[in-house]
């Protein structure tokens, strides 16, 4: 059964397979049939489409054939000749041209009203374009035959001249800051020019500005201003700013004026007019500033004039404030004027490179086309305006710093030299007017014969047209500006320093822009960039750090400082010096000026403020190169010469002989000893060395009266001279320290060399003053000691010391010496401080004791009464020194002890030596023993005896024994 079931299932399976295969075959056949039907349908459609296209092509061919036939008929018609049509066409063209000309002429007649309207709205560029178009039309050569246009041509010429004049006036109004719309018109240093940069560089000093870095090429005010002007111009052209005032942006307005002049082909003529009016416009600008400052500072100016004599210091402060205001405004506005001129030249250089204006020239029938070389020949450079500014600045400096009545004559800064000769009545100079005419003639020749005149440009550069200048023409008063304050050199720190800072700020514009320099052919913008790249990291500072361009820019100020200001300041200082030192009381003491509690000379009291004033003045001008210290050196040297002359007159007798103390003071050994004592470096034994040296100079003789100074006034003069010199040394040291402090602030080898030179000059002057001061003190000391020699010599040589009874008074010469020493000490105390008084009288008691002991050899006879008289002399001297409060009066104790040996007798003297040791020399002891023997005898001179000889031998033995040796008995 299972096998049967399997067979049935296999049959069923095969039957199912056959049925599914048949269905698939039927489906495939149906698909093929559908595809065949689709192809048949498409073919039928293509046949229909082709049939329609064929019909349309046939219709188009028929139309083309019809049009071709029509064109051939038209061609035959056009080729037929008809004269009437030609006449009508020509007449129509003529009438059209006549109508256009008449309409244009009607429009040209309204040019005056249109230009006036444009001028009122400050749209000068539109006015210039309108005028150029009208002139090109009216001056067309095809219309030259129309005589009726002559009046219209004259009208246009007049309108052109008027418009050019208006443009020039507007240009001057902005260049010279007359317009209220000018940038920085108020002229405050450091004021922002409106472009985000500090145009003026600030009113800071050189030290404050030293840390600033130079602006880069893209950071300069001119670059910012150019970008701003271009932006404003684009906005105006696009109509975004049509309702605004064109004059509001001053620099954009200036560019528009220049573009208008370039459109009118009058750029060179305008620049020539600008050049010819530079001096006049600058003079007017300065006059305006003076009037403005005078009005604003009227109260200060009135106060200065009222208090000039009552309170000079208050007047100087008022003058300084007025001048500071004037200089600040002046240099800021001059800088603005220079920037405007630099901007004008920059714009002109831009126009030279722009072919747009050459096309205008080529289309203009008024003048022939201008060659490129002629278009680029500008009549003036930035050097011209800078030269005029320098002239005005130098004139102002001369007016305010140089006192007119003190001038030796007019100063020519540019051609000044050291040769002083007869001034010529006339000199030859280049005349600008004739040179300009010659330039115009050469320009015409170049235009017409450009190909044949290749060397004319070089010849024109060599052209020098002579003009005769009257040196004595009275033009100074007409060109001089009104003075706000009285002139004086005390204004130099304000004016010169501000002028120098102004020059440092404008140096990038003017240093490389001088006429004739290689960089003058560059555009101003390029020159500023080059100058900025070459400039140092700090602004202009006098010295080695300054850039070459800066040094050239400020050379006119340096020349004025060296050749005009310093000589004038020196002359004024010398006049004041001569007035002070030539007075009859110049070397009397000034009871209002004291040093160390003692008065000084009146001349010195007047000279020291002069030194301080000039020192402060020159220190404030240290940015200027020059030997500023020279004036002070000369003043100090001349006053030293006066003091030396006074010293020499004082130490010379009426017989014109130098006193003994002066000759001794020139001895090297005496100078060495006194120098150590003066420096408080005295060595042991110097007192004895000084006495021995004085005795050697004295040569064992009595000093004569004419060799000594007994006139107390001369001694007082020497003391006062010493005190004055000491005061001057202290003041000179202070002034020198201030000068050195200024020099130490500078850097570089040149500053170090200048500081070293200053120290050397100072040492030279100080040494001369110190030498004379020390010599005055040394002469006083020697004079006191020579007086002691003189009187004590007389007291021992001429005094009587063999008396019958005890003397009640000391020797008359001792009394005279006491009176002399007391008088000198009293006068010296009023002139010298205690330490200097001690130098004069130091160790005088030691000297007196030495003379009294050593001069025993000059005593002719001696006894006990004479010995008491000598002791009385010593006590009188000692008491006098005590009364006048001199130190070291105990030196006379030695002399008193010496003469007290007389009372001991010969044996007592020897015993005293044996017990206490020798205190005096062998000769001193022997003379004292001789006095003992002569005093015991009735005769003046005791005859030699064996006992006397024994005492002398014993004395020799005692003094010959070495120190510490045992002493033998006197009886032996």
Question: Which of 192-206, 344-358, 465-479 ranks highest by mean pLDDT?
Answer: 344-358
pLDDT at 726 over 70: yes
Residue 371 has pLDDT above 60, yes or no: no
- Residues 361 and 368: their CA atoms lie apart, in Å, by 7
Estimate to the nearest angstrom the gap between the alpha carbon of 514 and the chain centroid: 22
Which residues, including other chains, have CB under 8 Å from residue 743's CB and lie 6 or more apart? 622, 751, 754, 755, 758
Tokens of 567: 């000589």
Q: Tokens representing 81?
A: 């000749």
Beta strands in 332-483 (DSSP E): 426-430, 466-470
- CA dist 516 and 506 (Å) reads 19
Q: What is the mean pLDDT of residues 516-539?
A: 46
> Any idea what the Cα angle at residue 500 is, between residues 626 and 193, rounded to 5°?
165
pLDDT at 822: 92
Query: What's the length of the chain?
Result: 972
Check residue 542 and give its pLDDT: 41
Confidence of residue 92 (pLDDT cuts 50, 70, 90): confident
User: Token pair for residue 520?
Assistant: 């003058």
Question: To the nearest whole percent, how much of the chain has pLDDT over 90?
Answer: 15
More confident residue, 184 or 587: 587
Q: Which residues make Cβ contacts (< 8 Å) with residue 376, sequence separation at least 6?
A: 352
- Please compute the mean of the pLDDT values over residues 92-121 and round it to a whole number: 76
Cα 679-684-689 angle, rounded to 5 deg: 90
CA atoms of 400 and 488, how far apart (whole Å):
6
Q: Which residue has the higher pLDDT, 428 or 438?
A: 438
- The whole-number average pLDDT for the span 438-451 is 62
pLDDT at 374 > cutoff 70: no
704 backbone φψ class: left, alpha, beta (φ>0; ψ -120 to 50): beta
Q: What is the pLDDT of residue 647?
A: 94
Give the model confidence (pLDDT) of 911-940 as tens digits. 888 888 888 888 888 888 888 887 655 554
**pLDDT, greater one: 13 or 806:** 806
Q: For the segment 241-251, what is each residue's pLDDT rounded down to a tens digit? A: 445 678 888 88
Average pLDDT, integer, range 458-476: 40
Write a three-state SS string for 433-454: HHHHHHHHHHHHHHHHCHHHCC
Measured distance CA(885)–CA(904) in Å, rounded: 33
Task: Write the pLDDT tens digit of every residue in 390-402.
Answer: 999 999 999 888 8
Report the pLDDT averaged over residues 877-888: 79
pLDDT at 527 over 80: no
Task: Check: CB of residue 398 under 8 Å from CB of residue 495.
Answer: no
Q: Exposure of 597 by Cβ count < 10 A (0-12 exposed, 13-18 middle, 19+ buried)?
A: exposed
Report pLDDT for 204.
Answer: 36
Higher pLDDT, 273 or 358: 273
Q: Which of 154-168, 343-357, 435-449, 782-796 has the lowest mean pLDDT?
A: 435-449
- Let me know: does 486 contact 540? Beta carbons within 8 Å: no
Q: What is the pLDDT of residue 316?
A: 77
pLDDT at site 473: 40
* Rounded Cα distance, 715 and 827, in Å: 8
What integer pLDDT is reported at residue 215 of this predicted model?
42
CA–CA distance, 442 with 204 (Å, rounded to integer): 49
Mean pLDDT of 398-408: 71
More confident residue, 553 or 325: 325
Closest to 702 (Cα-Cα) out of 814, 795, 812, 819: 795
Please, where are the H alpha helices in 121-149?
Answer: 124-138
Residue 545 predicted with pLDDT over 50 = no
- 181: exposed, middle or buried (Cβ count in 10 Å: 0-12, 13-18, 19+): middle
Is the CB of residue 914 less than 8 Å from the CB of residue 925? Answer: no
pLDDT at 815: 93
Q: Output the pLDDT for position 824.
A: 93
**Pair of tokens at residue 413:** 């800064």
For residues 754 and 748, give the distance between their C-alpha atoms in angstroms, rounded to a whole number.
Answer: 10
Q: What share of the chain is helix, strand, coil (3-state, %, to 5)?
A: 70, 5, 25
Query: What is the mean predicted confidence (pLDDT) over 677-697?
Result: 89
pLDDT beyond 80 at 415: no
Provide the mean pLDDT of the chain: 76
Q: CA 725, CA 600: separation in Å to the nearest integer? A: 9
pLDDT of residue 712: 93
Is pLDDT larger for residue 884 or for residue 340? 340
pLDDT at 631: 82
Q: Determine the pLDDT at residue 774.
A: 93
pLDDT digits (tens, 9 = 90+) for 135-194: 777 777 777 777 767 777 788 888 888 888 888 888 888 888 888 887 555 444 444 444
Report pLDDT for 488.
Answer: 86
Q: Which of 1-5, 751-755, 829-833 has the lowest mean pLDDT?
A: 1-5
35: left (phi over 0), alpha (psi -120 to 50) or beta: alpha
Report pLDDT for 551: 55
For position 41, what pLDDT does the model report?
Answer: 84
Q: In this model, does residue 897 exceed pLDDT 70?
A: yes
Say how far apart CA 188 and CA 293 lie, in whole Å: 12
Q: Give CA–CA dist 967/962, Å, rounded.
A: 10
Q: Is the pLDDT confidence value at 560 over 80?
A: yes
Ordered alpha helix ranges (H), 402-539 = 432-448, 456-461, 476-479, 492-510, 524-534
Nearest to 920 by CA among 959, 968, 893, 970: 959
């Amino acid at each position: 059964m299972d096998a049967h079931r399997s067979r049935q299932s296999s049959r069923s399976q095969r039957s199912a397979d056959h049925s599914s295969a048949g269905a698939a075959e039927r489906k495939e056949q149906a698909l093929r049939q559908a595809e065949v039907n689709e192809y048949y349908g498409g073919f039928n459609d293509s046949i229909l489409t082709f049939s329609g296209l064929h019909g349309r092509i046939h219709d188009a061919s028929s139309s083309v054939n019809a049009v071709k036939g029509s064109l051939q008929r038209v061609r035959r018609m056009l080729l037929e000749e008809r004269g009437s049509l030609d006449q009508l066409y020509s007449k129509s063209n003529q009438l059209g041209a006549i109508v256009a000309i008449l309409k244009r002429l009607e429009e040209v007649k309204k040019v005056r009203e249109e230009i006036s309207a444009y001028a009122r709205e400050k749209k000068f560029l539109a006015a210039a374009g309108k005028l150029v178009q009208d002139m090109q039309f009216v001056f067309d050569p095809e219309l030259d035959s129309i005589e009726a246009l002559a009046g219209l041509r004259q009208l246009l010429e007049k309108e052109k001249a008027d418009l050019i004049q208006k443009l020039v006036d507007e240009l001057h109004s902005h260049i010279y800051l007359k317009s209220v719309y000018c940038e920085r018109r108020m002229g405050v240093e450091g004021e922002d020019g409106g472009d985000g940069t500090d145009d003026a560089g600030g009113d800071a000093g050189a030290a404050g500005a030293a840390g600033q870095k130079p602006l880069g090429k893209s950071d300069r005010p001119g670059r910012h201003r150019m970008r701003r002007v271009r932006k404003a111009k684009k906005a105006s052209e696009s109509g975004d700013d049509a309702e605004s005032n064109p004059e509001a942006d001053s620099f954009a307005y200036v560019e528009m004026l220049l573009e208008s002049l370039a459109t009118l082909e009058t750029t060179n003529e305008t620049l020539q007019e600008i050049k010819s009016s530079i001096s006049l416009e600058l003079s007017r600008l300065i006059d305006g500033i003076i009037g403005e400052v005078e009005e604003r500072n009227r109260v200060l100016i009135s106060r200065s004039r009222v208090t000039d004599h009552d309170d000079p210091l208050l007047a100087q402060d008022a003058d300084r404030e007025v001048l500071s205001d004037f200089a600040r405004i002046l240099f800021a506005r001059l800088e603005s004027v220079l920037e405007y001129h630099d901007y004008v030249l920059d714009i002109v250089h831009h126009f030279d490179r722009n072919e747009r204006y050459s096309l205008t020239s080529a289309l203009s029938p008024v003048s022939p086309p201008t060659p490129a070389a002629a278009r680029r020949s500008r009549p003036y450079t930035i050097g011209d305006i800078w030269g005029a500014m320098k002239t005005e600045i130098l004139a102002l400096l001369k007016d305010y710093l140089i006192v007119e009545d003190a001038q030796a004559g007019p100063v020519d800064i540019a051609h000044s030299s050291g040769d002083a000769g007869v001034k010529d009545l006339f000199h030859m100079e280049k005349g600008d007017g004739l040179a300009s005419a010659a330039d115009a003639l050469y320009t015409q020749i170049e235009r017409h014969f450009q190909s044949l005149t290749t060397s004319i440009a070089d010849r024109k550069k060599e052209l020098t047209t002579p003009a005769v200048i009257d040196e004595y023409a009275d033009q100074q008063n007409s060109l001089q500006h009104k003075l706000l304050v009285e002139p004086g050199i005390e204004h130099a720190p304000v004016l010169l320093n501000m002028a120098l800072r102004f020059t440092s700020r404008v140096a990038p514009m003017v240093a490389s822009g001088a006429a004739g320099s290689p960089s003058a052919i560059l555009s101003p913008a390029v020159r500023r960039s080059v100058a900025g790249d070459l400039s140092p990291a700090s602004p202009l500072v006098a010295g080695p750090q300054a850039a070459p361009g800066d040094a050239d820019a400020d050379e006119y100020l340096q020349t004025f400082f060296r050749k005009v200001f310093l000589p004038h300041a020196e002359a004024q200082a010398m006049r004041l010096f001569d007035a002070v030192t030539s007075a009859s009381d110049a070397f009397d003491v000034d009871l209002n000026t004291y040093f160390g509690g003692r008065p000084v000379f009146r001349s010195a009291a007047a000279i020291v403020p002069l030194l301080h004033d000039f020192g402060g003045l020159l220190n404030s001008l240290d940015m200027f190169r020059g030997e500023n210290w020279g004036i002070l050196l000369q003043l100090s040297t001349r006053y030293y010469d006066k003091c030396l002359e006074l010293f020499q007159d004082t130490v010379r007798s009426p017989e014109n002989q130098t006193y003994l103390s002066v000759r001794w003071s020139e001895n090297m050994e005496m100078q060495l000893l006194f120098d150590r004592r003066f420096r408080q470096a005295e060595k042991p034994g110097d007192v004895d060395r000084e006495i021995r040296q004085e005795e050697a100079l004295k040569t064992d003789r009595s000093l004569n009266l004419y060799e000594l100074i007994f006139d107390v006034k001369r001694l007082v003069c020497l003391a006062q001279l010493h005190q004055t010199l000491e005061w001057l040394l202290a003041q000179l040291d202070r002034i020198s320290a201030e000068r050195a402090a200024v020099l130490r602030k500078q850097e570089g080898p040149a500053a170090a060399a200048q500081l070293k030179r200053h120290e050397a000059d100072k040492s030279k002057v100080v040494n001369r003053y110190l030498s004379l001061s020390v010599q005055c003190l040394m002469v006083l000391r020697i004079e006191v000691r020579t007086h002691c020699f003189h009187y004590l010599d007389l007291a021992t040589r001429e005094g009587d010391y063999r008396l019958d009874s005890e003397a009640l008074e000391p020797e008359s010469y001792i009394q005279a010496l006491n009176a002399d020493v007391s008088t000198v000490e009293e006068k010296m105390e009023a002139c010298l401080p205690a330490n200097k008084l001690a130098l004069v009288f130091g160790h005088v008691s030691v000297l007196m004791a030495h003379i009294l002991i050593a001069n025993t050899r000059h005593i002719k006879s001696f006894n006990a009464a004479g010995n008491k008289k000598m002791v009385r002399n010593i006590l009188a001297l000692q008491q006098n020194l005590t009364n006048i409060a001199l130190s070291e009066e105990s030196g006379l104790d030695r002399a008193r002890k010496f003469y007290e040996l007389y009372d001991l007798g010969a044996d007592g003297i020897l015993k005293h030596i044996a017990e206490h040791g020798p205190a005096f020399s062998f000769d001193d002891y022997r003379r004292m023993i001789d006095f003992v023997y002569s005093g015991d005898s009735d005769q003046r001179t005791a005859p030699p005896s064996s006992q006397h000889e024994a005492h002398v031998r014993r004395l020799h033995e005692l003094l010959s024994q070495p120190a510490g040796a045992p002493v033998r008995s006197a009886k032996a």
